[in-house]
Amino acid sequence: MKKINISIKEMFMKQDELIGNKVRSISEISIDFSSQRLYLKNMFNDLEKLSNKTDKSFLGAVKAQEKKQLKGIDHLEKRMLKAQKRKYNEIVNRIAILQDELFPNQSLQERQANFSEFYLEYGDHLIQSLIENLNPLKLEFDVVVL
């Protein structure tokens, strides 16, 4: 986690979201097309005003084209992210392996691994550490590092 600069809190994110956020943060180029969307919306607002002054039946075509163009920008943004994921394939794979180790089958570890596996590895120290660190009535996750 330290090598790829991921916090414990981030490890609880959905894998696709975590990988997307990490790729966006390390990418040399901006994968956020918000400014392009804003420019497009402003342009279509101007076209809408123009169509209101001329023929109101033209307004439907303007709205349809705006929706189509915004959908196209979303598609391009997804493709750009996908390309960046390929470029940073090593980091993406490390994140996926790490998260799969901590969350087998994308679920909580205790749903997949038996307590005895951890007990065999850590012995009596595990039980004492769990008693000291866990509060079962607190409705949040606790991460115990042994």
Q: Is 145 helix (H, G, I), strand (E, B) or coil?
A: coil
The pLDDT-based confidence of 66 (bands split at 50, 70, 90) is: very high
pLDDT band at 24 (very low <50, low <70, confident <90, very high): very high
Compute the average pLDDT of residues 16-27. Answer: 93
Model-level pTM greater than 0.75?
Answer: no
**pLDDT at residue 94 is higher than 90:** yes
Sign (positive or negative) of CA dihedral 18, 30, 82, 36: positive
How does residue 22 score in pLDDT terms, banded at 50, 70 and 90?
very high
Side chain identity at residue 94, one-letter code: R
**Which residues neighbour 21 within 8 Å (Cβ) at sequence distance 6 or greater?**
10, 13
Is a pLDDT exceeding 90 seen at residue 55? no
Token output for 52: 């209101």
**Distance separating alpha carbons of residues 93 and 107, to the nearest angstrom:** 18
Tokens of 15: 């894998």
